Amino acid sequence: MARKTGHLITPKRAKNLVGVAKVVAPALIPVLAPVLARGAGMLSEQYDRYRARRLGIDVADIGKYSGFGARLHARIVGFSDSLEPLRTTDADWVSKTEARLTQLLAAVRASERMPTARRKAAHRAVGTDLDALEQELLRRLNVRE
């Protein structure tokens, strides 16, 4: 009667595979290590680009925005930059708004160490304030009434 030979791992096969691995691995590691390192670097770079695209920032600035409030942080900084056209025509409002943005940024930073529920509530509050400030900015820029 013919014996069925499957792909079972027997103790003898396992011992042979370990022996082959001991011989082959030292030869393959120097060849594969640089390839794997390059692959890991490329994956990291792609992920950084993805995160930067989601935050609406340049890839070079990705290190400035991290943590749970990264999106809000980037949004506040972007909003602050957009105040420049009004600096000469509406300086009082711009200075008040910049003071409020400083407070909102401090709230985002402080929320990083809060428990999840409180952090999310703080982020919602900051987001609501930013929405109102953005509406006012658009009104002052005559984009939206």
In one letter, which amino acid is 18?
A: V
pTM of the shown model:
0.68
pLDDT tens-place string over residues 43-91: 999 998 998 888 888 888 888 888 899 999 999 998 998 898 888 888 8
Q: What does DSSP assign to residue 31? A: H
Spell out the alpha helix ranges (H) of the chain.
11-55, 70-81, 91-111, 116-140
Confidence of residue 106 (pLDDT cuts 50, 70, 90): very high
d(CA 101, CA 94): 10
- HSE-CB of 62 using CA atoms within 13 angstroms: 13
